[in-house]
């Protein structure tokens, strides 16, 4: 695919960018490089390749695991003031 100045103008309009005439060559070259790379990728035979779900076999060991360490009743047991299932605190925001 050959990127033309009209296509650059269309992209500029869609992205709300403004290019001067001498500034159009850089995005034009970049877009040509991108499209040629994609055309190279399309040449690869992927017929018998299964899609990847994860890039590696590793497991995220830093992932937080939720554990129930305290029941709801235990959490409210020592509070000075509670309202059924919630902590009661003094009002501190005035409207």
**Consecutive 10-residue averages of pLDDT for the chain (95 residues):** 87 90 89 93 90 75 76 85 85 81
Q: What is the dihedral of CA 68, 73, 78, 79, to 10 degrees?
A: 100
Q: What is the model's pLDDT at position 83?
A: 84
User: pTM here?
Assistant: 0.47
Q: How far apart are CA 91 and CA 81, in angstroms?
A: 13
CB 38 within 8 A of CB 72: no
| Distance, CA of 55 to chain centre | 17
Q: How far apart are CA 23 and CA 5, in angstroms?
A: 11
């Amino acid at each position: 695919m050959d990127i033309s100045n009209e296509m650059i103008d269309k992209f500029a309009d869609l992205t709300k960018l403004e290019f001067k005439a001498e500034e159009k060559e850089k995005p034009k070259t970049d877009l040509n490089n991108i499209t040629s790379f994609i055309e190279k990728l399309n040449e690869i035979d992927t017929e018998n390749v299964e899609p990847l779900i994860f890039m590696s076999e590793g497991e995220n060991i830093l992932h937080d695991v939720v554990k129930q360490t305290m029941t709801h009743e235990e959490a409210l047991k020592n509070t000075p003031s509670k309202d059924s299932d919630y902590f009661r605190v003094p009002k501190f925001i005035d409207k």
